[in-house]
Amino acid sequence: MSAQSVNWPPPSSSAAPPPPPLPLLLLLCLAGWHGALGLAPVPLRNVSVDVGDNVTVVCSNEGRAQIFGTSNKITWIREGREDGQSKRLTVEPSGLLKLINVSRFDTGDYYCTLDDDAVRDRISVQVRTPPPALHNVWVKPSTILANILWEVAGTGGYPIIDFTAEYRLKPSPGDEADDWKPIIPTHIPPNSRQIDVYHLEPNTTYSFRVWATNQLGRGDIVEVEGHTHHSVEELELARHLLAGVENFDTRVWVAAVGIVMGTLMVLGFGTCYLLYRECKAPCVSFRCFLLNLSAAGGAGSD
Ligand SMILES: *[C@@H]1O[C@H](CO)[C@@H](O)[C@H](O)[C@H]1NC(C)=O
Ligand SMILES: *[C@@H]1O[C@H](CO)[C@@H](O)[C@H](O)[C@H]1NC(C)=O
Ligand SMILES: *[C@@H]1O[C@H](CO)[C@@H](O)[C@H](O)[C@H]1NC(C)=O
Ligand SMILES: *[C@@H]1O[C@H](CO)[C@@H](O)[C@H](O)[C@H]1NC(C)=O
């Protein structure tokens, strides 16, 4: 019996494990330090709320939705804001954290302590908003058309439904600005990252604005300027191209397709007829063809 206990653990595994590498040690140190502060062991929970709504969060004890007794002092702290706690953070007598009429600035991590002791719960509050302003909005002007391009910086928490773009003449100083004109289509699909504007005047400065919309509403608007080119040749070319775009008539298409299909059908019928005649004249020619083939094969193998 005693020999058995001496042999445990077995000799093969009795060799000391290699010391952990230095970075791991550092990490362990950090974790220990965080543990002492009570930050590491408590997992972060996500709570999402629409901008303008109220949210109430329970300080739950390690996942158990337990509301501590009123005899306990529950403190809620916003991480990174330990110095100046936001006035918007209110704690109800029962210890619930309540955020009223949340704004995007309430997005952040909060934690609660019980009797100023260890951290009991951590939540990450995500405030969903209309989409933020689009990134890198710019205009590629030509003579009488312009191409507006943009990038998406974020959705605000809900998928983007569509984009909207508008334009107007840039008012000269002292003049009253025109109304914004919509750029067609008015609902630009959410996967688009550019739109063309037609019917501009050459050598003219325009303002363009564009924004994204999600289910919470229209996002921040970005406004840019563009000055159309002046070039006679380019102007003519653009007018020509545009005329094609504008006056494009589906009937022309249908006629063209009809002519092509008609030609193909006539050719097809002709071929059928020829084949039919060929077959009626008994298959002499076909046999000749086969004979020729085998003759050629025989010659090849010789
Ligand atoms: C919380 O949200 C973040 C992204 O905002 C995500 O990476 C993480 O997995 C979420 N955690 C849980 C527990 O859902
Ligand atoms: C949020 O709470 C405030 C005060 O308690 C109340 O007046 C308001 O109606 C609430 N808003 C919503 C959207 O419930
Ligand atoms: C909510 O906050 C916004 C600004 O963040 C303010 O304009 C609005 O009046 C507030 N609404 C209520 C009901 O307090
Ligand atoms: C473009 O417009 C400016 C004033 O808006 C004018 O001075 C200039 O001559 C114009 N250029 C051409 C090539 O027409």
Asked if residue 169 has pLDDT above 90, the reply is yes
User: For residue 128, which ligand has an atom nearest its CA?
Assistant: 1
Q: Supply the pLDDT for residue 19.
A: 52
Percent of the chain at pLDDT exceeding 70: 66
Distance, CA of 177 to CA of 171 (rounded, Å): 5
Residue ID of nearest Cα to ligand 1 atom 8: 46
Is residue 81 over pLDDT 70?
no
Q: Which ligand is nearest to the CA of 170?
A: 4
Nearest CA to 170 among 125, 122, 127, 204? 204
Every domain of the chain with CATH number 2.60.40.10 lies at 41-128, 135-232
Give the integer Cα–Cα distance in Å for 202 and 232: 10
Q: Kindly give the distance from the C-alpha atom of residue 202 to the centroid of ligand 4, in angstroms, as a whole number.
A: 9
pLDDT for the residue 2: 37
What is the structure's pLDDT at 207?
96
Q: What is the pLDDT of residues 240-279, one digit of tens each?
A: 666 666 555 667 777 777 888 888 888 888 887 888 887 6
Check pocket membership of 43 for ligand 1, CB cut-off 6 A.
no
- pLDDT one-digit tens code per residue, 117-161: 778 888 999 999 999 999 999 999 999 999 999 999 999 999 999
- The confidence score (pLDDT) of residue 300 equals 43
pLDDT number for residue 244: 62
Pocket flag, ligand 2, residue 37 (CB < 6 Å): no
* Cα–Cα distance measured from residue 164 to residue 260, given in angstroms and rounded to the nearest whole number: 40
CB 46 less than 6 A from any atom of ligand 1: yes
Point out the ligand nearest to the CA of residue 49. 2
Q: Does CATH place domain 41-128 in 3.20.10.10?
A: no
Q: Which residue has the higher pLDDT, 100 or 116?
A: 100
User: Per-residue pLDDT for 189 more than 80?
Assistant: yes
Phi-psi region of 199 (alpha: psi -120 to 50; beta: other; left: phi over 0): left
| Protein residue with its CA nearest to atom 13 in ligand 3 | 101
Tell how far CA 2 is from the center of its chain.
Answer: 67
> Per CATH, which fold does 135-232 belong to?
Immunoglobulin-like (2.60.40)
H/E stretch holding 22 reads helix 22-37
Is the pLDDT at 198 greater than 70? The verdict is yes
Q: Which two tokens stand for residue 286?
A: 């076909």
**Percent helix, strand and coil across the chain, each rounded to 5?**
30, 30, 40
For residue 295, name the pLDDT band (cuts at 50, 70, 90): low
Tell whether the model's pLDDT for residue 199 goes beyond 80: yes
Nearest-CA neighbor of 166 among 207, 201, 119, 198? 207
Q: How far apart are CA 235 and CA 98, in angstroms?
A: 62
DSSP letter at 188 equals B
Cβ of 5 less than 6 Å from ligand 1: no
Q: Which of 154, 148, 101, 99 is nearest to 130 (CA)?
A: 154
Q: Determine which of 41-50, 229-238, 255-264 has the lowest per-residue pLDDT on average.
A: 229-238
What was the pLDDT predicted at 120?
A: 82
Region 67-96: mean pLDDT is 72
